[in-house]
């Protein structure tokens, strides 16, 4: 990674952006110095996470929100994270087709990113991509993820504001609670509200949010949208902007940013220690230690202790 690449990113060269993001995506070795310099020049982009079940209309909504931001004179970077789950087969192409009307616009950068089965690393990667987009001068960064598991929830922690997109069929309260989407949403949209049951879900959701909201904490607002016909998206957009102001003013945004920074240091250290530990030799030792059913007579705890001791020996 040379200083030329850095300069290009800072001057919003989308090809350079794409190249660096691919490198992050493929676990390329990017020197610390790169992120250090990048960090120094970052403008503080607003990071928005959009998450929800597969096919809820996240990309359709994102598309409309991009337009709203553009109309407000803002530039936007979008990363659509494809968790490579069987649910989302074809989503990649879908995203490209629907979003490519911005392909030639310098103010809009859109990328899909695969997880290659490594959801843990995805949160870190998404953060790094966010930094790169931020350094390119984008005012707003949208991260679209399918909300089906812990990995995506980690990604939700990587943003300033999370929009959870549900559909009328998203289920009853218990299912919603189980899916863990309630905790992570700062704002909710029941999309596909052209279908039956959307008002009922909105009501139920409001009740849950009211019951579980902590004292003094904002109760997340709930909106009904039909993104494919651009219905209700104006209101949703205005509420998102408004919420951003509120969160900035009451310190919640700063709290989130600090927690995020700490969390990233934590994870970077964890990743590095693990990488250092699992040398070829260590991996071979693990293979040797556990190579037959008999060898499982040693408890995993014992083997782990042994391998850890070796690390210092």
Nearer to ligand GTP, 133 or 227 (CB): 227
**146, 156, 184, 202: which one contacts ligand GTP (CB under 6 A)?**
146
Question: Which residue among 49, 57, 151, 168 contacts ligand GTP (CB under 6 A)?
Answer: 57
- Compare residues 6 and 79 and give the one whose CB is closer to ligand GTP: 79
> Taking CB within 5 to 8 Å according to partner kind, which of ligand GTP, Mg ion, none is near residue 132?
none
250-253: long-range contacts, CB 8 A cutoff, minimum separation 24: 250/218, 252/218, 253/160
Q: Using CB under 6 A, which of 91, 110, 233, 247 touches ligand GTP? A: 91
In the complex, minimum distance from the CB of residue 167 to ligand GTP, in angstroms, rounded to a whole number: 8
E-strand ranges in the chain read: 46-52, 76-82, 108-114, 140-146, 161-166, 187-190, 222-224
- For ligand GTP, give the closer residue by CB, 56 or 122: 56
Element (H, E) at 242: helix 233-249
- Packed helices 119-135 and 252-277: angle between N→C axes, nearest 10 degrees: 120
Of 10, 54, 102, 235, the one binding ligand GTP by CB under 6 A: 54
Q: Which does 139 bind (CB under 5 to 8 A by kind): ligand GTP, Mg ion, none?
A: none
For ligand GTP, the binding residues in 241-300 under the rule CB under 6 A are: none
CA–CA separation, 28 and 95 (whole Å): 25
* 147 lines the binding site for ligand GTP (CB under 6 A): no
Decide if residue 194 touches ligand GTP (CB under 6 A): yes
Other Cβ atoms closer than 10 A to 143: 27
Q: Judging by beta carbons within 10 Å of its beta carbon (0-12, 13-18, 19+), is residue 71 exposed, middle or buried?
A: exposed
Least distance in angstroms from the C-beta of 238 to ligand GTP: 18
Short-list 16, 237, 233, CA closest to 106 = 16
Examine residue 111 and tell whether it contacts ligand GTP (CB under 6 A). no
Distance separating alpha carbons of residues 291 and 181, to the nearest angstrom: 41
Rule CB under 6 A: say whether 148 interacts with ligand GTP: no
Give the footprint of Mg ion on this chain (CB under 5 A): 58-59
56 near ligand GTP, rule: CB under 6 A: yes
The rounded distance, in Å, linking the Cα atoms of 128 and 135 is 11
In the complex with ligand GTP, which residue's Cβ is closer, 38 or 80?
80
Using rule CB under 6 A, residue 65 touches ligand GTP: no
List 145's β-bridge partners, or say none: 51, 81
Residue linked to tokens 């659509």 = 80
> Does 12 engage in binding with ligand GTP (CB under 6 A)?
no
Q: What is the closest distance, in whole angstroms, from the C-beta atom of residue 248 to Mg ion in the complex?
A: 28
- The distance from CA 249 to its chain's CA centroid, rounded to whole angstroms, is 24
Q: Which does 7 bind (CB under 5 to 8 A by kind): Mg ion, ligand GTP, none?
A: none
CA–CA distance, 114 with 294 (Å, rounded to integer): 39
Least CB distance from residue 201 to ligand GTP, whole Å?
13
The rounded distance, in Å, linking the Cα atoms of 233 and 13 is 30
Binding site for ligand GTP (CB under 6 A): 54-60, 88, 91, 94, 146, 191-192, 194, 226-228
């Amino acid at each position: 990674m040379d200083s030329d690449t850095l300069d290009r990113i800072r001057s919003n060269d989308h090809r350079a952006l794409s190249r660096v993001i691919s490198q992050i995506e493929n676990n390329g070795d990017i020197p610390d110095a790169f992120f250090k310099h990048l960090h120094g020049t970052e403008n503080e982009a607003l990071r928005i996470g959009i998450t929800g079940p597969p096919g809820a209309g996240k990309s359709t909504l994102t598309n409309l929100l991009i337009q709203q931001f553009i109309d407000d004179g803002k530039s936007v970077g979008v990363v659509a994270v494809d968790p490579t789950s069987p649910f989302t087969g074809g989503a990649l192409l879908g995203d490209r087709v629907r979003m490519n009307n911005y392909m030639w616009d310098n103010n809009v950068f859109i990328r899909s990113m695969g997880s290659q089965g490594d959801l843990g690393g995805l949160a870190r990667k998404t953060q790094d991509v966010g930094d790169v987009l931020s350094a390119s001068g984008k005012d707003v960064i949208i991260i679209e993820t399918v909300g089906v598991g812990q990995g995506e929830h980690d990604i939700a922690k990587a943003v300033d504001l999370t929009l959870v997109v549900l559909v009328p069929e998203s289920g009853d309260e218990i299912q919603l609670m189980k899916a863990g989407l309630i905790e992570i949403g700062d704002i909710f949209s029941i999309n596909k509200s052209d279908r039956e049951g959307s008002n009922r879900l909105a009501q139920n959701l409001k009740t849950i949010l009211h019951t579980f909201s902590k004292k003094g904490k904002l109760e997340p607002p709930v909106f009904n949208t039909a993104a494919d016909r651009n219905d209700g998206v104006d209101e949703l957009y205005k509420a998102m902007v408004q919420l951003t102001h509120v969160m900035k003013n009451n310190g919640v945004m700063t709290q989130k940013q600090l927690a995020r920074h700490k969390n990233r240091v934590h994870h970077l250290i964890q990743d590095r220690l693990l990488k250092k530990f699992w040398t070829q030799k260590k991996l071979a030792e693990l293979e040797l230690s556990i190579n037959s059913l008999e060898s499982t007579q040693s408890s995993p705890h014992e083997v782990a202790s042994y391998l850890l001791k070796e690390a210092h020996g």
